[in-house]
Amino acid sequence: MAEETVSPKAPAVEKAPEAKASDLPSQKLFGKYTYVGVVVSDPGLEMYISLKPLSIPHTFARHANKAFAKAKVNVVERLANKLMRGGTGEKLGGKVIRTHGKLQGKKSKVLKVIRTAFAIIAEKTKKNPIQLLVQALENSAPREETTRVRFGGTSYQVAVDVSAQRRLDLALKNIALASIMQSFNKKSTLAQSLADELMLGAANDQNSYSVKRKNETERVARSAR
């Protein structure tokens, strides 16, 4: 009888271990600033300040016209959206703001302004500009405001609590307006004004326009109780 030949077994091929999400390189904002270690200390704003790692904070209005979807938008992109202010001519702080369409709808210009402002902050403070932005938002978000109610033909100002989402909206709006006003018809650029406002707001300095607006809003609300 012919002897059966037994072929040697092929060596087992070891599978490369799958990369875990924690092992993947995290994206950095503008390729420079890491999101790792950025802390939101305000528990009310924690679920609304999105720190989703994005190199370029531009999602092309993916979350537009969806209820509560803006809570998923990166906070740096939300700041850029607030800075895209058109020539409304609204009078604020004794100044008529007219951007003449320089920023309206031109997100690439606004992102360039934020990139320059963050570079100024990093050079002056040696800290992560994303962390300073978060601290400025926490210090600029009012917890109480007033609303008008009507009883029997008479209007009253009544103090009400501010929702967390509106608190963040007001803080972003005031920081953006402060930056535009401080650079309006002045030698200071918008990037320099934004950097100054964020540094003052992060330090809870009373010279910050957004911090002053928060304190004024809460003072009026206390008097209306």
Which secondary-structure segment (H or E) carries 25?
none
First to last CA, the chain: 106
DSSP one-letter string for 59-97: -TTTTTTSTTGGGGSBHHHHHHHHH-------EETTEE-
- pLDDT for 22 equals 41
The DSSP code for 103 is S
In this structure, how many other beta carbons lie within 10 angstroms of the beta carbon of residue 13?
A: 6
Report yes or no on 96 lying in a domain. yes
d(CA 5, CA 9): 12
Residue 209 lies in a domain: yes
Per-residue model confidence (pLDDT) at position 99: 59
Cα–Cα distance, 4 to 123 (Å, whole number): 77
pLDDT at 152: 80
- Report the distance separating Cα 15 and Cα 114, nearest Å: 44
Residue appearing with tokens 């690439």: 108
135 within 8 A of 201, measured Cβ to Cβ:
yes
Total tally of structural domains belonging to the chain: 1
CA 200/CA 88 separation, integer angstroms:
27
| CATH classification at residue 157 | 1.10.455.10
The answer to whether residue 32 sits within a structural domain is yes
C-alpha–C-alpha distance, residues 98 and 100, integer Å = 5
| Residue 153 counted as domain residue | yes
Residues of the chain with pLDDT under 50: 1-2, 13-25
List the domain range (segments joined by +) for residue 145: 28-223
- The answer to whether 90 touches 97, Cβ cutoff 8 Å, is yes
Does residue 120 form part of some domain?
A: yes
Which residue, chain included where needed, has tokens 């928060």? 214
Residue 50 lies in a domain: yes
Quick check: is 16 in a domain?
A: no
Structure-block tokens of residue 209: 């326009």
CB within 8 Å of 76: residues ≥ 6 apart = 29, 54, 57, 114, 130, 133
User: For residue range 41-89, what is the model confidence (pLDDT) as tens digits?
Assistant: 999 899 999 898 999 988 888 887 888 888 889 999 999 998 887 655 5
The model carries a pTM of 0.80
